[in-house]
């Protein structure tokens, strides 16, 4: 069984936010106007969080890209009253938009705050209507959504491999953010495949998982030399 994993090398991240933009384009995430953004209603499945420490001239800014952690023990799926979010057998945490009642219990139970809510019916400028990705559902008002590890790409890759009568190979299925990263700070693959790049990198002494002492067992692995208090642990 596959176990899809993302590795993000924080020491290589340059904070360009190309991953965020790629994600928005890939997953039909609507824009939010400045007013809504100020209210904290921007939807950003892949968010680059920044911390700034110290004072001028000794300032240090750090970036940490944050998709859904796709936990092996997700606190969000337990609390959903209608099975609208669930853990599938390949370890991906899915969202069933058509079933979600919008109670936002999962958004509140997630310790990483990775879940987003559609406060209004999403809309795009007329010119953009034709640019939506046909592989991804456009969500309606009142439902919760989040990063899916570009699950639709997995479907495509599986179909392609089947057509070519072969097994899935490392690199067949890659999330949009990983594909875009110009600093090559992100990697994607099957951690159960001992030959895959991610399974090699997961063994690194620089590897850690976000808030791993909560026991959520995330499938996003970060690499860094630094300490990262407040992220690595509470």
Partner 1 sequence: MESAKTERRSFGLRAVRNLFANSKARAGQPLQTGGSRDDQLFAAVLETGRKFHITVAMLLLIVAWAFFAWVTQLWNGLGVTGLNRPVYWGFYITNFVFFIGISHAGTLISAILRLANAEWRRSITRSAEVITVLVLFFGVGNVLMDLGRPDRALNVISHAQFRSPLLWDVTSITTYLTASSIYLFLPLIPDIALLRDRLHGYSAAGRPFPRWRLRLYTFLAVGWTGSEKQQQRLNRAIGVMAVLVIPIAISVHTVVSWVFAMTIQPMWHSTIFGPYFVAGAIFSGIAALLIAMAIIRRVYHLEDYLKPIHFNNLGLLLLVMTLAWLYFTIAEYLTSYYGGEPAHMKVFWAKISGPYAPEFWSMVVFCFVIPFAILTRRKTRTIAGTVVASASVTIGMWLERFTIVVPTLMNPRLPYSRGAYHPSWVEFSIMAGCFAAFILLYMLFTKLFPIVSIWEIREGQEKSVAETVERIESYLPGVAAKEFP
Structure tokens at 38: 């100020």
CB 60, min distance to partner 1, A? 15
CB 195, min distance to partner 1, A? 33
Q: Which is nearer to partner 1, 63 or 179 (CB)?
A: 63
CB 116, min distance to partner 1, A? 6
Residues that bind partner 1 (CB under 8 A): 36, 39-41, 47, 49-51, 64, 66, 75, 78-84, 99-105, 107-109, 111-113, 116-121, 141-144, 210-211, 214, 230-231, 234
Answer yes or no: are the C-beta atoms of 91 and 3 closer than 8 Å.
yes
CB 121, min distance to partner 1, A? 6
CA 206 – CA 126 distance, rounded (Å): 46
Q: Which is nearer to partner 1, 87 or 157 (CB)?
A: 87
CB 122, min distance to partner 1, A? 10
Please tell me the total number of residues recorded for the chain in this structure: 234
CB 123, min distance to partner 1, A? 11
Q: Which is nearer to partner 1, 79 or 157 (CB)?
A: 79
Q: Which is nearer to partner 1, 39 or 131 (CB)?
A: 39
> Between the CA atoms of 138, 141, 143 and 147, what dihedral angle is there, to the nearest 10 degrees?
40
Q: Which is nearer to partner 1, 54 or 81 (CB)?
A: 81
Answer yes or no: are the C-beta atoms of 222 and 64 closer than 8 Å.
yes
Quickly count: other Cβ atoms within 10 Å of residue 125's Cβ: 8
Q: Which is nearer to partner 1, 100 or 191 (CB)?
A: 100
């Amino acid at each position: 069984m596959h176990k899809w994993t993302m590795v993000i090398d924080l020491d290589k991240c340059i904070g360009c936010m190309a991953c965020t933009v790629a994600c928005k384009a890939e997953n039909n995430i609507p824009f939010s106007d400045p007013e809504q953004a100020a209210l904290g209603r921007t939807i950003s499945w892949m968010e680059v969080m920044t911390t700034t420490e110290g004072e001028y001239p000794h300032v240090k800014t750090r970036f940490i890209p944050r998709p859904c952690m796709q936990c092996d023990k997700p606190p969000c799926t337990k609390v959903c009253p209608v099975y609208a979010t669930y853990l599938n057998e390949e370890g991906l945490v899915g969202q069933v938009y058509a079933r979600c009642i919008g109670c936002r219990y999962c958004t509140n139970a997630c310790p990483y705050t990775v879940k987003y809510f559609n406060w209004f019916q999403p809309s795009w400028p007329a010119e953009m209507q034709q640019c939506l990705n046909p592989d991804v559902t456009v969500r309606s008002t009142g439902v919760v959504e989040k990063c899916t590890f570009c699950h639709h790409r997995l479907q495509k890759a599986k179909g392609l491999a089947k057509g070519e009568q072969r097994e899935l190979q490392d690199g067949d299925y890659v999330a949009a953010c990983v594909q875009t990263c110009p600093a090559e700070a992100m990697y994607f693959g099957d951690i159960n495949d001992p030959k895959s790049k991610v399974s090699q990198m997961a063994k690194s002494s620089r590897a850690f998982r976000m808030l791993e002492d909560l026991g959520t067992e995330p499938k996003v692995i970060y690499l860094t030399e630094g300490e990262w208090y407040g992220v690595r642990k509470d």
